[in-house]
Amino acid sequence: MRRSTRLSAAGTDEKGVWLVHLASASLILVAVHGGDAIRRALNVPVLRFLGRISFPVYAIHMPLIGSVASGAYILFHGGPGRGWAIVATLAVFFPVLIAASYGLALADETWNKRLNRSMRLFFFREGAPQAPGDAREGAILAAADAPQGGKA
């Protein structure tokens, strides 16, 4: 009797995949936490920007593929060839994706600042419920006023 083995997308046995992912993530965390050179290398402006827009890219890439990329491909596919249409579509899609993601990241930062300010006013107003001798107020207020994304 043949035993069937389910394969993951990576082509490996599923039972061992979690161990590879766990080991890889652990090595990355140890390297970044323990090595100043790696931390400096990962703290370059381009990578910080990509980190800033990574969630908006994740959130909107499929709607943009379905709208912008599809529309661009339909527009360009009558040109010199299929390869040209794909290149032209990508040349339209990626700038739109990056611009839209950056706009969403800015909106999210604005929302976070307003929410932090509102929560600070609510929780630290005169007569607001606080723990007796709560020394965290200064730290919370400082954190709420701190710039996000490494920019002043």
The per-residue pLDDT for range 10-47, each reduced to its tens digit, is: 555 566 788 888 999 998 888 878 778 877 887 899 99
pTM, 2 dp:
0.61
- Please indicate whether residue 149 or residue 59 has the higher confidence score (pLDDT): 59
**CA–CA distance, 85 with 93 (Å, rounded to integer):** 12
- Rounded to a whole number, what is the largest CA-CA distance in the chain? 76
The per-residue pLDDT for range 59-92, each reduced to its tens digit, is: 999 999 999 999 999 999 887 888 899 999 999 9
